[in-house]
Amino acid sequence: MEMYRSAERLRKLPPYLFKEIDRKKEEVRARGVDIIDLGVGDPDLPTPPHIVEAMKKALDDSSNHQYPSYSGMHRFRETVARWYGERFGVDLDPQTEVVSLIGSKEGIAHFPLAFIDPGDVALVPTPAYPVYHIGTLFAGGESYFLPLVAENDFLPDLEAIPGAVREKARVLFINYPNNPTAATADPAFFERVVAFAREHGIIVCHDAAYTELTFDGYMPPSFLQAPGAKDVGIEFHSLSKTYNMTGWRIGFAVGNREAVQGLGAVKSNVDSGVFQAVQWAAIEAIEGDQACVAEMRKVYQERRDLMVEGLRKAGFELAAPRATFYLWVRVPQGYTSARLATRLLEEAGVVVTPGNGFGEPGEGYFRIALTRTRERMAEALERLQGLSL
């Protein structure tokens, strides 16, 4: 018997579906198997040196040692606004339409506290990054799940949402380029989202963590480029994937003033902003030489090409993505996602993520992250090609 009853919001957390695979991974590792972990969505490449240097310099300046501004240094918000103008052609007021985040996960998780009351609904894609649903749950809201399926290019079917749900819905989460499906969305989809949100008074939360992690010269749009998007939406951005800065914890949210200010009001009562030295590093990342981004894209593109070709040769069915460092692969006939992941782990020492762990419609898929070297990926492929599935 546990001594303390945990709060309902913790008891309501969905079961952690990767527990079984985590346990098996440790079991296989303990047997001395050389495990190749293609499960983790965390870049293996280091943060570029000029960004690390900017942080070191900022550390020596004692004016950076005090509490930062809640919403981010003005200089940081200006940098973000300028980048949005250049990259997307979107105009932002750095004073009121930009807020710094302690990583975009932090902002996404806190956003529902600003706009969801108990009984309200959030429209949440599935399979998806788990934070949309959990942030909603923590705010006392309910998620209405929007299945992302291949037949609909992994875009939510907004037409299929019942009228009663639309009435209770306050927030719609979307994420393109998408984790885990690696799908992308075109401007026409974002335009449909704007019309839907406007009709029903819904705030759109677009998670744009992967807009810079792209291949073959593809440049994904920002949601805020859609006409009228700034009237209805907020976009969450991250330096984590673009500059290999997952450990630094910095991101930002931009867009609709009320949405940004609402999130800021929650945050100013929960945290005290981002360490200024980290903000200076982020300014250097955004304003400095972008050759590191081109190099990062090249590295992942080579890995993608190697892996897509090798997996197809091994008999797997998958699309070659044009963004994100994920591959969303069909499970062969006769397997569930969990059974296949277990078999790859036990017989090949290769860790993949079973698709159902991201939500029920992910059943029948597994996710591979391109976050290991080419040599390790080639080794993984060799092992997979040796299995008869």
Which residues of this chain interact with ligand PLP, rule CB under 6 A? 41, 103-105, 129, 175, 179, 207, 209, 238, 240-241, 246, 251
Q: How far is the CB of 270 from ligand PLP (least distance, A)?
A: 15
DSSP bridge partners of 126: 147
Q: How far apart are CA 173 and CA 129, in angstroms?
A: 10
Between 133 and 241, CB nearer to ligand PLP: 241
Output the CA torsion 295→300→301→305 (10° steps). 150
Between 105 and 303, CB nearer to ligand PLP: 105
Q: How far is the CB of 233 from ligand PLP (least distance, A)?
A: 16
Beta carbons of 183 and 148 less than 8 angstroms apart: yes
Name the residue whose CB lies closest to ligand PLP: 103
Q: How far is the CB of 125 from ligand PLP (least distance, A)?
A: 10
Q: How far is the CB of 172 from ligand PLP (least distance, A)?
A: 15
Between 115 and 173, CB nearer to ligand PLP: 173
Per residue in 181-193, is it b (16+ CB within 10 Å) or e — as a string?
bbbbbeeebbeeb
> How many residues would you count in the chain?
389
Query: What is the helix (H) or strand (E) element at residue 372, kind and residue range?
Result: none
Between 316 and 325, CB nearer to ligand PLP: 325
Between 209 and 224, CB nearer to ligand PLP: 209
Q: How far is the CB of 205 from ligand PLP (least distance, A)?
A: 11
Nearest to 278 by CA among 65, 36, 123: 65
DSSP string, 206-239: EE-TTTT-BSTT--PPPGGGSTTHHHHEEEEEES
